[in-house]
Amino acid sequence: MGKVYYDKTVKKIVYNITFPEPETWVIQDTSFYRLKAKKVVSKQKSFLVPNSSIFHFALTGQLADYGLKNSLYKVEQVKKDGNMVISTWQPEAKLSKVMGKVVMSNVNKKLNGVVFFNTAGDILSKQFYKNYINVSGCEFPTEITQISYLKTGQNYQVTTYKNVVINQNGEEGIYNFAVPK
């Protein structure tokens, strides 16, 4: 449990975790820092890049297409299933040997789900987005379920958001959090 802060200008995500124990996570560029008592306890490469995060996509109006419209992916197929629009996205040919397709569903022009595949066509992960709220004209899901498919089995993660604030003042120390060297 905790708070998350995102600054789309500096492209940095800061998680201020309070439970089960206090710590801070900072994701910047391709690095993930874990801090306790303001000291770095670990640094590793991050597959999550802040400008490819749900926070960035929501704030820039790209959440409905998960940012794929402005990426190296192209729409291959679009079909309608009841109130759901399902689109299949393929990477550009030069990347098809390292990146698999992405299938997403939208309901009422809001992202409902995303499925990521590897190049062999196996599912890597699924994400489901529910309970959207409108904050300052920005649509944001308050519940995200992610299922990761691993060799050892499936991993489920449910994240819920509440008290979503956009353009918050008075927290500059968090937004400008400097990772100690």
Q: If you write DSSP's letter for every residue of 108-137 in order, what string do you get? A: TTEEEEEEEE-TTS-EEEEEEEEEEEEETT
Give the pLDDT confidence score for residue 95 in this predicted structure.
Answer: 87
- In this predicted model, what pLDDT tens digit does every residue of 162-179 receive, in sequence order? 988 887 776 666 666 777
Residue 181 within a domain: no
pLDDT digits (tens, 9 = 90+) for 106-121: 999 999 999 999 999 9
Out of 21-25, 28-32, 51-55, 108-112, give the one with best mean pLDDT. 108-112
How many structural domains does the chain have?
Answer: 1
Q: What is the pLDDT of residues 50-79, one digit of tens each?
A: 888 999 999 999 999 999 998 999 999 999
Give the pLDDT confidence score for residue 172 in this predicted structure.
66
Handedness of CA 91, 92, 96, 99 (dihedral sign): negative
Residues 138 and 127 sit within 8 Å (Cβ to Cβ): no
Q: In the predicted model, what is the mean pLDDT of the chain?
A: 90
Bigger pLDDT: 37 vs 172: 37
CATH number of the domain bearing residue 105? 2.50.20
The span from the CA of 7 to the CA of 13, in Å, is 7
The answer to whether residues 90 and 71 touch, using CB atoms and an 8 Å cutoff, is no
80 located within any domain: yes
55 in any annotated domain: yes
Based on its alpha-carbon atoms, the radius of gyration of the chain, rounded to whole angstroms, reads 17
Q: Is residue 120 part of a domain?
A: yes
What residue spans of the chain are helical by DSSP H? Answer: 54-59, 172-175
- How high is the pLDDT of residue 9? 83
pLDDT at 38: 84
In a domain, 180, yes or no: no
Flag whether 72 is in a domain: yes
**Structural domain boundaries, residue 44:** 2-175
Tokens of 43: 């640094």
- Containing 4, the helix (H) or strand (E) segment is strand 2-7
